[in-house]
Amino acid sequence: MENKLFELAAARRSIRRYIGEPIDREILDEIMKVALTAPCSFGHRPVEFVIVENPETIEKLADCKSLGGSQIIGAGAVIVVMVKLDRGEFWIEDGAIASSYILLAAEQYGLGACWVHIRNRTGRKKSSDEEIRDLLGVPDGYAVLNLIALGGKGEDKPGYTESDYDYGKVHYEMY
């Protein structure tokens, strides 16, 4: 049975090295359209994004995560995923689902992408979340969940194949 979404999902891997070129704005817009269709709690669309393309700002963003931030340097764009906390119960889920959509959409355009975690991570002086909100002028009432680094693939990684799936994790009716 043809399953295009499965093919896309199996091809997607976390790519942490990029060719260092900008990404077409048209492609970024297409990716963000996908992100904006993600399901969300109460249907109140709490997830917002700041897309950073300026290499100097990307370096500053990298500095907001004291361990493991530098991997975003060289990305063509970094999408900062933030969630409005006014109906906060499901903010992590809301941000994570939108992020997953971005990761799949990036693969559709042949771009490499990687989730870089921010929640509960530390920056140089404050939490990574606070440092990023200061850097980008994000108003109070939002939390940054993660970054998604995007760029032309600078490393080759094989997609997943049948032997990588553990169907034993799928249970019908009873565990």
Ligand X SMILES: Cc1cc2nc3c(=O)[nH]c(=O)nc-3n(C[C@H](O)[C@H](O)[C@H](O)COP(=O)(O)O)c2cc1C
* Minimum gap (Å) between residue 172 Cβ and ligand X: 25
When asked if residue 115 is in the footprint of ligand X (CB under 6 A), the reply is yes
| # of chain residues touching ligand X (CB under 6 A) | 9
CA-based nearest residue to 46, from 114, 137, 141: 141
| Residue from 61, 58, 20 nearest 151 by CA | 20
Return the ∠ at Cα 169 (arms to 164 and 174), rounded to 5°.
Answer: 160
> How many of the other CB atoms lie within 10 Å of CB of 119?
17
Indicate whether 148 belongs to the interface with ligand X (CB under 6 A): no
* Contacts with ligand X, 49-68, as mask; x by CB under 6 A: -------------------x
Please pick, from the candidates 13, 18, 78, 105, the single residue that binds ligand X as defined by CB under 6 A: 13
Binding site for ligand X (CB under 6 A): 13-14, 16, 68, 71, 114-117
